[in-house]
Amino acid sequence: MNRFTRIFLFLAMWLSVFAQTQFQGLRDLVQVPIAISPALVSYAALTHGLGVTLSLGILGGLWVDSLSASPVGVSVLPLFLLGFTLHLQRHLILRDQGFAQFWVGLGAGAGVPLLTLGVLSLTRSQPVTGGFTVIHLLLLGMINGVACPFLFRMFDFLHRVFDYRPLTTSSFRPDRETVRGRQFRPR
């Protein structure tokens, strides 16, 4: 991947964090902030290197915490662990298949808020939990599950548009004949 796709990835993370906090109408409709940062970290872990994945997880977590009421650094650990774990196991995941992308996004979308809730319970903050927490986790998992295959297709399109394609033509003419071995020439 070249630098344009990495820039678009970090820009998408920044825009998703901004949209998560600024669009109150959608947030009030579903009663949960629409966070697709786990799907973006999942995409980065399955397609980019470890440095890009971990820096996206750290920066994304810091951006989420800077706009939320939680202490700074609470969202960094879950996104970091998600990116690190998926990157280590990406050879086992069928990352080109839509159903695998959906299930990875669903697991990431439900797992990251659950880990964030666990980290918040270790601090002195009192997170609000109840019977609705499971519904919110499932809803966030479904949103990320649907968003993950969409992100793969969108970034693959951007990759095709902004990255060069290697030249596949050969330097040899097709009408050229290659003679192999020794040939007997009468004198």
Taking a C-beta distance cutoff of 8 angstroms, is the pair 86, 40 a contact? no
Contact status, residue 1 vs residue 159, Cβ threshold 8 Å: yes
3-class SS string, 50-69: HHHHHHHHHHHHHHHHHCCC
Domain boundaries, the chain: 3-161
- pLDDT per position as a tens digit, 89-105: 988 888 888 899 999 99
* pLDDT higher than threshold 80 for residue 148: yes
pTM of the model: 0.82
Tell me the C-alpha distance between 73 and 128, whole Å.
19
- pLDDT number for residue 130: 78
26, 65 Cβ separation under 8 angstroms? no
Q: Evaluate if residue 176 carries a pLDDT over 70.
A: no
Q: Higher pLDDT residue, 126 or 172?
A: 126
pLDDT of residue 171: 67
Q: HSE, CB side, 13 Å, CA atoms: give it for residue 52.
A: 21
pLDDT of residue 172: 65
Averaged over 154-171, what is the pLDDT?
79
* Residues 84, 127: Cα–Cα separation, whole Å: 26
Cα 9 → chain centroid: 8
Average per-residue pLDDT for the chain: 85
> What pLDDT is stored for residue 179 in this prediction?
66
- Tokens in use for 129? 């939990």
